[in-house]
Amino acid sequence: MFMIHKKKKFIKLKSKGFTLAETIFSIFISMLVILILQNLLTNLKTVNKSSHRTDDIAFAYVQFNRFLHEDSGVVYALADSSNSFKSKLVKVKGSGKKKIEKTYILEKYKHMIRSTTDEGGHMPLLLNVQAASFSTKDGQIKITVIEKDKRKSELYFKLDPRPKEKSKKDEENKSQSENTTRKNKNSQSKRSSK
């Protein structure tokens, strides 16, 4: 029994101190854990930024395409008044006397691509843009975008072909042919009644 008592006393004495080797080992483990967590957080931030940018391009495309084709009859590009810095398009709502035409301009402004109207105001489509160029054809707008992180994207918007404008000669010819047709019908009805 005396020996058991001495062993307990020996164990108690040994566990009261915290040696220099244990201290260095615990600091080493703490530093290792901190470095691993720091690298993990940095990687998560990088992944979030890269996937977020891809989503921005897709969201801008879907948003503007939906805007173009919602509740409208015809949307066509004005290729003759567009250039590599801007693209003009016309959105037509309704028909006949209730026909409303609105002109929109797509352009790069500061670090964004935006849509504006002749009346003022703007709608940002895409942010963090370093450079952009526009290519407008009848029935299509192509936007080439270079983002601040040097990634390049191309957005294509399919539009309706530009309607042919009726000239005054066409309208005069149409009205003359209608008058001729009426005269012929009237003369035929007079002959048949005799």
- What residues are paired with 160 via a beta bridge? 76
The two beta strands, 129-137 and 122-127, are unpaired
Above 80 in pLDDT, residue 52?
A: no
Q: Which residue has the higher pLDDT, 184 or 119?
A: 119
Domain boundaries, given as residue ranges, for the chain: 47-166
pLDDT at 40: 93
pLDDT at 163: 83
Above 90 in pLDDT, residue 120?
A: no
Judge whether 160 and 76 are in contact, CB under 8 Å.
Answer: yes
CA angle 112–155–88, rounded 5-degree value: 70
